[in-house]
């Protein structure tokens, strides 16, 4: 099992939106970074644990726990010419972008980026590294376990 931090803009899909979805599950669509796509395609497996993170908002931070509930498959938004995630070079035979399904386990209190930075145990966490802008990052098991103590 692996551990991940997955960012979502609450204006797109918030933790409350996820809680209201059928089966509390969402396709993690719209990822348009090759490294993040490769994490989903090549490394994520069903039951991997996820820190659900609100980004690009007034107070970014971890807001819930989730799990990968379906392995990577083609992101349908790449084929939709009306979508902001449309990819004209993608075909059904050769998709460029993938997503996984993510299922809510638990909504938590907000653990802000500022709070994450205040713990020496998390100093090497990828999200806290200067210049990191990836929407999906691996989380060390010890970091994940420490974050659980903060919730």
Give the pLDDT confidence of 40-85 residue by residue, as tens digits: 999 999 999 999 999 999 999 999 999 999 999 999 999 999 999 9
Token pair recorded at residue 104:
């809510």
Q: Is residue 78 in a domain?
A: yes
How many separate domains does the chain show? 1
Q: Is the pLDDT of residue 133 over 90?
A: no
HEC per residue, 18-36: HHHCHHHEEECCCCCCHHH
Q: Is the pLDDT of residue 8 over 90?
A: yes
Report the run of H or E that residue 115 belongs to, with start and end. Answer: helix 113-117
Q: Is residue 123 in a domain?
A: yes
Quote the domain boundaries for residue 133.
Answer: 3-138
Could you tell me the CATH number of the domain that includes residue 25?
3.10.590.10
CB 85 within 8 A of CB 75: yes
Q: Is residue 147 in a domain?
A: no
Q: Is residue 119 in a domain?
A: yes
What is the predicted pLDDT for the residue at 45?
Answer: 98
Q: Is residue 145 in a domain?
A: no
User: Considering the chain, what is the average pLDDT of its residues?
Assistant: 97
CB 1 within 8 A of CB 47: yes
Confidence of residue 131 (pLDDT cuts 50, 70, 90): confident
Rounded distance, CA 102 to CA 82, Å?
24
Q: Is residue 151 in a domain?
A: no
Is pTM beyond 0.85 here? yes
Radius of gyration (C-alpha) of the chain in whole angstroms? 15
**Percentage of residues in the chain with pLDDT exceeding 90?**
97
Q: Is residue 24 in a domain?
A: yes
Which residues contact residue 96 at a Cβ distance below 8 angstroms, ignoring those fewer than 6 apart? 37, 78, 87, 89, 90
Confidence of residue 132 (pLDDT cuts 50, 70, 90): confident
């Amino acid at each position: 099992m692996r551990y991940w931090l997955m960012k979502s803009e609450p204006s797109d899909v918030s933790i409350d939106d996820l809680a209201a979805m059928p089966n509390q599950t969402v396709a993690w669509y719209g990822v348009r970074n090759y490294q993040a796509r490769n994490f989903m395609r090549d490394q994520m497996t069903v039951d991997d644990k996820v820190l659900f993170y609100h980004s690009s908002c007034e107070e970014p931070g971890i807001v819930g726990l989730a799990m990968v509930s379906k392995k990577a498959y083609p992101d349908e938004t790449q084929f939709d010419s009306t979508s902001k995630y449309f990819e004209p070079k993608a075909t059904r035979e050769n998709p460029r972008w993938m997503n996984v399904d993510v299922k809510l386990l638990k909504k938590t209190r907000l653990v802000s980026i500022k709070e994450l930075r205040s713990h020496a145990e998390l100093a090497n966490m990828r999200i806290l590294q200067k210049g990191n802008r990836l929407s999906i990052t691996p989380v060390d098991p010890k970091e994940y376990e420490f974050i659980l103590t903060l919730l």
